[in-house]
Amino acid sequence: MSKLRENLKASAVAAVVMSGCHKWLLRRHRHQVTILMYHGFFEAHRADGLEQYGSRWCEIGDFKRQLDYLRRYAHVISFERLVAHYRTGAALPDNAAVITMDDGYASNYRLAYPLLKQRGIPACIFVSSRFVEDREFLWPDRIEYAIWKTDSDALEITLKEAPLRYCLGDEQKKREAVDSLKAQVEPLCHRDRMALISQIEDKTEQTLSDRGETPALLEPLRWHEIGDMVESDLVSIGSHTIRHPNLTTCTDEQLRDELVDSKALIAQRTGKACSLFCYPGGAYDARVKRFTQEAGYHCAVAIGDAFEQKDETDLFELKRVGVARDMRKYGFIGRLLR
């Protein structure tokens, strides 16, 4: 049903665009700022099927077309300029947009950055420091990889002494299992997350690690690639914690370490202060916000309706619009016109 709704929305947006009315809608919303959220990128002609296991991947041809639309109908600004606007009232151009990318995938540099550089479009990448520093793979990627690679027809694991059973008989069943498993893992503390993921990897006999061949889709950035982007002054680097935990489940000590240590490592590796933060999974509460401010960050982004943002917006609750894998031209434009 959700897929049908998206298709109907895209058809409606197509009619609006072809009639020219989208320009009127953009003028009407010209004072609103849209923060776009991407993750990793892939090339359609090299796709191996793993990209179908998560909606966060964007085909690079789609990204190119999205950039060209933004360049024509919007004004993409740096994240720092947006923060300055909220802090000091500095003017912004009409239809301002900000591009963000989460986690720190190598495709940000190898596929997306050349397009950004060619067009002179800025972006902000929020990196999980342990992912980049030590190639400690992210928990959603470990789940997707294990289910994608396994030859098992079924999976049975235990969560809090309750059995969980999944059929893995075909690709559709596998993708459904991945969605359910990620929903089960998302609210857990880091220790319980790792225990459950270890069960999944043991039962499927598939582990994402440096001992095997890492799919290009899941490769982390390298510091020299980050340095190249930072030197261009087009890309800023923010923190996405050390290990991508659900921060609301962390103890005070763990929370402080995730915020402070990741910030310090990024500053050390890039030679530039790190003042931008992204809540993993968009999870935060009053305590997490307070610790983020105390750690010295200037702002933090979450997930939600970006069009709720006003000039008095809380800088530690900035909302973003997610760009999904199946979001073609009119679906993307529809997110900008909401």
Average pLDDT over residues 150-166: 93
Confidence (pTM): 0.90
How many CA atoms lie less than 13 Å away from 48 in the CB half-sphere? 9
Across 77-133, the runs of DSSP E, i.e. the strands, are 96-103, 123-127
C-beta of residue 193 within 8 angstroms of C-beta of residue 243: no
Other CB atoms within 10 A of residue 173 CB = 15
What does residue 104 show for φ and ψ, rounded to 5 degrees? 105, 45
Q: What is the pLDDT of residues 102-140, one digit of tens each?
A: 999 999 999 999 999 999 999 999 999 999 999 999 999
Share of the chain above pLDDT 70, in %: 84
- Give the pLDDT of residue 108: 98
Task: Supply the DSSP symbol for 242.
Answer: S
What is d(CA 112, CA 99) in angstroms, rounded to the nearest whole number? 11
Helices 223-231 and 252-270 sit at what angle, rounded to 10 degrees?
60
Token digits of residue 334: 């529809």
251 pLDDT above the threshold of 60 = yes
The CA-CA-CA angle for residues 51, 179, 197, to 5°, reads 95
Question: Which residues are CB-neighbours of 292 under 8 A, at least 6 positions away?
Answer: 259, 277, 284, 300, 316
